[in-house]
Amino acid sequence: MKLTEAKQQFISSWGAFGTHWGINRTMAQIHALLMVSPDPLTQDDVMAQLDVSRGNVNMNMRDLISWGLVDRVILSGERKEYFTAEKDIWKVATQIIQERKKRELEPMLKLLAHLENIEGDKKDKEVKQFVDTIAGIRKFGKQADQMLSVMVKADESWFLAGLLKIFK
C-alpha cells in the first residue's frame, strides 16, 4: 500500500471511530492528520488535505487545543500559525482521560452525591432501589476517578509494570 492511501484510510477510520465516542468527525480527522504529520501544518494545509472549510478547521483546531492535544507553533520568519499534535500516545490518552474526568466524570459524581439525599422511607422498594443504584454508581465512579487520577500522573512504564504485577 502507498503512504497516501494508508494515511487516507487512517484518517477516515479515526474519524469514524471518533463519532462512536462523541467526538465529531472533523475534529478526530484533524487530530489524526496532525499525528501522522512530522512537521507542523497550517490551517490551509489541513483544509486542503481534508477538504473542509476554513471555519471548520479553525473551530475544531481551537477545540483540540482546549483538549490539550494540539499546540500552536510559531515558526520564526513566518507570518502564518502552524499546528502540531502530541505524538506520544500515552500522553494523548492521559490527556484525554484528564479532560473527560474533569468535564464529565466529576460533575456526574457531584450530581449523584446530591441525588442520594432524597426524602422518603427506605422501606419503600422504589426509594430503596433508587438510592441503592445511585450509591452503587457513585461508589464505582469514585473508584474510577481515583484510579484515573493515579494513571494520569503516572509514567507509562511504571504503570504497565504495575499492571503486570496484578495480572500475572
Partner DNA sequence: ATAAGTTTTCAAATTATACTGAAAGTTCGA
Partner DNA sequence: TCGAACTTTCAGTATAATTTGAAAACTTAT
Residues that bind a copy of itself (CB under 8 A): 1-3, 6-7, 9-10, 13, 17, 19-22, 35-39, 87-90, 93, 104, 108, 111, 115, 117-120, 125-130, 132-134, 136-137, 139-140, 143, 146-147, 150, 160, 162-163, 165-167
> Binding string, 55-84, against DNA, x = CB under 7 A?
xx-xxxxx----------------xxx---
Report, in Å, the least distance between residue 44 CB and a copy of itself: 18
Q: Identify which of 112, 115, 111, 100 has the alpha carbon closest to the alpha carbon of residue 145.
A: 100
Q: Please pick, from the candidates 19, 129, 146, 149, the single residue that binds DNA as defined by CB under 7 A.
A: 19
What is the C-alpha separation between 109 and 95, in angstroms, rounded?
Answer: 20
**One-character DSSP codes across 72-105:** EEEPTT-SSEEEEE---HHHHHHHHHHHHIIIII
Closest CB 137 distance from a copy of itself, rounded Å:
5
Distance CA 57, CA 80 (A): 15
Q: How far apart are CA 76 and CA 40, in angstroms?
A: 13
Residue closer to a copy of itself (CB basis): 53 or 149? 149
Binding positions for DNA, 121-150, rule CB under 7 A: none
- Residue 96 CB, shortest distance to a copy of itself, in Å, is 12
For residue 32, the minimal CB distance to a copy of itself (Å) is 9
Beta bridge partners, 82, equal 73
Coil, helix or strand for 46? helix
What is the Cα 30 distance to its own chain's centre? 14
Query: Which of the 8 DSSP states describes residue 40?
Result: -
Where does this chain bind DNA (CB under 7 A)? 19, 24-27, 42-44, 51-56, 58-62, 79-81
